[in-house]
Amino acid sequence: MSRELIEHAGAMVAYPKGILAADESSPTLTKRFVAHGLESTESTRRDWRETLFSSPGLGEYVSGVILYDETFHQTTANGLSFPDFLVEHGMLPGIKVDTGAKPLAGSDGELVTEGLDNLGPRLADYYARGARFAKWRAVLQIDQAKPSAICIRANAHALARYAKLCQESGIVPIVEPEILMEGDHDLATTRRVAGTVLSAVFDQLRSFEVLLPGMVLKPSMVTPGNTGPTVSAREIGEASVECYRDVVPASVAGIALLSGGQSDDMATANLAAMNEIEALPWPITFSFGRALQDTPMKVWASSGQDRQRTQASLMDRVTTTASVLRPRHLVNV
């Protein structure tokens, strides 16, 4: 099982590929559909995702797709399950397994991600149905005394328990501690908080003896708050890599960054800046959702749901993003 985990984790971050995050919940996707004047039903959501996943050549640049439970259990127009469909097109099927962020007792409005109850049996079922990796997202906010120590500990502990349960079921865990961009904090503040959060996460991962080469880290980019001081992509790239180098063990399979509400161009520019830095101990790639899907959804809505035009738009975003990745001889640092 360890060998399979390591192989799949390596494949997920192998050059020149990244991960497509298509795991928006049905309510979240409905909001996006409504904003574009689209009807949201189980059938229309399935058609949207099948259009994306069947884009010609997608598997050349996307190693795997994170699915929402609804999509995971749906079939394509030809009656093939989505996990089997992805495998046929050269991509690993993934599944979002957390049940969302809920208020954390004892904190000042902070959140902790839930979903550990009955997770083991759920993972075993997902594996039997074709899932080979999973995702769990923790959410932390920067604001005065936030994130608090209790919030950091609670989310780090949950991420580690989830990761261990995944590996016991043969599933590669994507570990996602997201630090939200909302706020007026500067780059140095985010750098400090990100280092503290990631240190806590890896302390917990080690305590649960999670196999590090069999996991993928999905952190936020180290950016200032969305209303904070403006900095360059180079500054963001350097701050991010410096933070990861300080904290992330070289044995981790790779880092697949989330876009975190950034525009598609901004997320790609920051990813490019990181990949321009030489001699990294792990590959740095993308695990983008909206940064890859926003423009195609606009095309989908404005073109009368024209499949070819929507797929061309997605492939333009995917190839543009993948083009900034760089092959490298990895080194231990």
**Number of neighbours of residue 103 by Cβ within 10 angstroms:** 10
For residue 146, indicate whether it is catalytic: no
Catalytic residue among 110, 176, 178, 238: 176
Q: Is the separation of the CB atoms in 187 and 236 below 8 Å?
A: yes
Burial of 276 (0-12, 13-18, 19+ CB in 10 A): middle
Catalytic residue among 17, 96, 135, 218: 218
Instruction: Please give the torsion angle defined by the CA atoms of residues 147, 150, 156 and 157, in that order, rounded to the nearest 10 degrees.
Output: -170
Q: Is the separation of the CB atoms in 221 and 214 below 8 Å?
A: no
The rounded Cα 113 to chain-centroid distance in angstroms is: 15
For residue 164, indicate whether it is catalytic: no
* Radius of gyration (C-alpha) of the chain in whole angstroms: 19
Question: Residue 37: which region, alpha, beta or left (left: phi > 0; alpha: psi -120 to 50)?
Answer: left
Question: Residue 152: which region, alpha, beta or left (left: phi > 0; alpha: psi -120 to 50)?
Answer: alpha
The DSSP symbol for 276 reads T
* Of 252, 210, 208, 218, residue with least CA distance to 64: 218
Whole-angstrom Cα distance, residue 127 to residue 129?
A: 5
Contacts of 303 (CB under 8 A, 6+ apart): 309, 310
Kind and range of the H or E run holding 92: strand 92-96
Catalytic residues: 176, 218
